[in-house]
Amino acid sequence: MRRFITIITGITLLVLLNIHSAQAIDRLILSGVVKAVDYKSGIITVDVKSASCPGIKKFRVDDLSISDTSLIGKHISFPIDSSTCKGDTIYKIVLPRGEGR
C-alpha cells in the first residue's frame, strides 16, 4: 500500500510540474532607442542596446496610433514574445493587458 501511495504521489507531482511548465512563457526584455514607426505595417524600428539582441531591429506592435510618433528618438524598455533574439526575425512587442491604446 505504501508503495502504491508513493507511486501515485510521484505521478501527481510529475503531472503538476508538467502542467506548470507548459504554462510558463519566457519573454526577453529589451531596451533601446526608437528610430522609426511604420503605421501601415505596425512595425517599430529600434536601435537595441541590450547585449542579448544588439543592433537595429524591427518589432511588430498590435496597435499603433498617430500619437506614437512621439516615440521616435526615445529610449524604451519592452518585452518581446520570445526568450531569444535571432537574426532578422521580427518579434512582437508584448504589452501588458490594459496598456494597449
Bigger pLDDT: 26 or 88?
88
Name the more confident of 88 and 98: 88
At residue 67, the pLDDT reads 54
pLDDT at 94: 87
Tell me the CA distances in angstroms from 87 to 15, 22, 79, one per residue in order: 36, 26, 17
Span 63-76, pLDDT tens digits:
766 555 678 899 99
The answer to whether residue 35 scores a pLDDT higher than 80 is: yes
* Strand arrangement of the beta sheet that strand 91-92 belongs to: 75-79, 29-38, 43-48, 55-60, 91-92
Domain-wise residue ranges, the chain: 29-92
pLDDT of residue 100: 45
**pLDDT at position 81:** 93
